[in-house]
Amino acid sequence: MSAPAAVRTRIGKYEIGKTLGEGTFAKVKYGKHVETGVDVAIKIIDKDKILKHKMVEQIKREISTMKLVKHPNIVQILEVLASKTKIYLVLEYVSGGELFSKILNQGRLREDQSRKYFQQLIDAVDYCHSRRVYHRDLKPENLLLDAEGNLKISDFGLSALPQQFRADGLLHTTCGTPNYVAPEVIDDKGYDGAKADLWSCGIILYVLMAGYLPFDEASIMTLYKKIHKADFTCPPWFSPAARRFILQILDPNPKTRITAAQIYKIDWFKKGYTPAKFKQKDDISLEDIESVFSESMDKHEHMELQKNEKKPTIMNAFQLITLSNGLNLSGLFDTPEDPKKGDTRFTSIKPANEIIASIKEVAKPLGFDVQTCDFKMKMKGDKEGRKGHLSVATQVFEVAPSLFMVELRKAHGDTLEYHNFYNELSKGLKDIVWR
C-alpha cells in the first residue's frame, strides 16, 4: 500500500512550499502556479501585526509602487490576494540570490562585470524616477540576480510616491541605510529623491568594484562627517575613467551631482551598454489595493484599519543621531545626571498611552500641573523656585515597533531643581522604564 500524498497548502491557484526568508511582519515562501507550473515567491503579511504597528499605509505604498514599476530589472508583482488574516503578494521568483552574497563569496567584481550590473541598476532606477517613484533604500542586499545573472531591484518598503512630496517639491523623511545614504538626506532639510537614489547607486558601484564600502566607520559621528564631505579614496585597481565617474556620482553637492541623463552620455557607462527592452504599460490600476485590506475582515478589524488614530512621532536612526551629543549614540538613552544639562531620556516597552498616563500620575503628587496634547506633555511646578516656576516639556517617540523613547527637557527654571524633580519622578516610573 502506497503512502498517502503529502497535503500541500494552496492559496488561490498557487501551491505554497518552503520558506525563503522571514522578517518581523512577513514571510516569503516559494510557490508554484498549479496550472502553468510557473515558480513564484509569495510574501505573506500578517494583518494583525501591521494593524497593531500602524503599518497599513506603508504596506499599501509598497504594493502601489510595485504595481507602478514594470521593468525587466525590477522584481515584478504578479498578483495580490487576501484572506481574513493574511495578505499575499505573489512576486516574480528570482533564483540567483542577493548581489550582496555574490560580493561576500567572490570578493570584488571585475570592472566590466560591475559595469553590467550598474547599467541595469541605472536603467531600472531611471525608469522608477520617470514614474515618480523613489526607492530610498538602494543597497546590494536589495538587489537580486535571476537565473541568467540579470539584476533585479527588490524591497520597495521605503519608497516614496508623488503624494509624499511637500509644497517645496522635496522629500523630508530621513530613511535608508547610513552607509548608502546621501549627505542631503542626513541634513534633514529636504532632498530630491532622484539625486539621493543616484548617490546610493554610486556607493553600490564602488562596493562592486572595491569589495568594501567607501564610508565605513565604527563611529557614527565619523561616518556622518566623511559622507558629508565625500571623504573617500578609490583603490589603485580602479581605472582612471571609473575613478572620475564615481567622483561625479559621489558629489556631496546634489546641485552639481551627475544626473541620470548625463550618466547615459559617459563613455565608461556606454561601453557594452544595451538598453532594457520592454513594453511600458500605462493602464495600471491601483483601485484594488483598498479592497485587499478590507476583504474578509470583520467589523472590528475594518474599523481599526480606517480610524485615524494619533500615535507618537516615529524617530528613525538619523533623528536619534541628531539628538545625541557629538553624534555618539553611546550616551543617548538613560543620560547620566549632569548639573549642566536640562534634559533626560529613557526607553520603555510599555504602550505610549500607558507611559503618558504613568508620568501624569506620578507628577501630580509632586506638585506639578500637567497638560497633555497627543504624545507631548507640559509639566509646570506650582511652587516658585530660584529661577521661577520649573517647567518640563516631555515627548514620547516611537523608535521601533513596541519600543519608545521618552525625552524630558527643562523648558524653564533651575537645572538643579530639574534634576531633583527627575530623581523623584523616576522613582515612580520604575515599572515603565526599560533596562
| Active-site residue (options: 126, 137, 155, 251) | 137
Annotation: binding site for ATP: 43
> How is 72-107 classified by DSSP, letter by letter?
TTBPPEEEEEE-SSEEEEEEE--TT-BHHHHHHHH-
Annotated binding site: 43
pLDDT of res. 385? 85
Selection from 22-26, 185-189, 382-386 with the highest mean pLDDT: 382-386
DSSP-derived pairing of the beta strands 313-314 and 388-400: parallel
Domain 313-427 has CATH 3.40.50.300: no
Cβ atoms of 372 and 395 closer than 8 Å: no
Domain ranges of the chain: 9-93, 99-270, 313-427
Q: Would you state the pLDDT for residue 353?
A: 81
- Tell me the three state secondary structure of residue 59: helix
- Per cent of the chain over pLDDT 70 is 77
- Give the CATH architecture of domain 9-93: 2-Layer Sandwich (3.30)
Task: Calculate Rg over the CA atoms of the chain.
Answer: 25
- Structure confidence at residue 333 (pLDDT): 45
Q: What was the pLDDT predicted at 312? A: 73
Sign (positive or negative) of CA dihedral 142, 146, 148, 152: negative
* d(C-alpha 271, C-alpha 290), whole Å: 45
Identify which of 315-319, 334-338, 339-343, 390-394 has the greatest average pLDDT: 390-394
Question: How far is residue 343 CA from its own chain's centroid?
Answer: 28
CATH number of 99-270: 1.10.510.10
- For the stretch 91-131, pLDDT in tens is 999 988 888 888 888 889 999 999 999 999 999 999 989 88
Q: How far apart are CA 116 and CA 216, in angstroms?
A: 25
pLDDT above 90 as % of the chain = 29
E strands along 272-322, which residues?
A: 313-314
pLDDT tens digits, 44-54:
888 887 777 77
Closest CA to 94 of 152, 52, 134: 152
State mean pLDDT over 70-87: 88
Tell me, yes or no, if 137 is annotated catalytic: yes
- Give the lowest-confidence range in 157-166, 202-211, 277-286, 330-339: 330-339
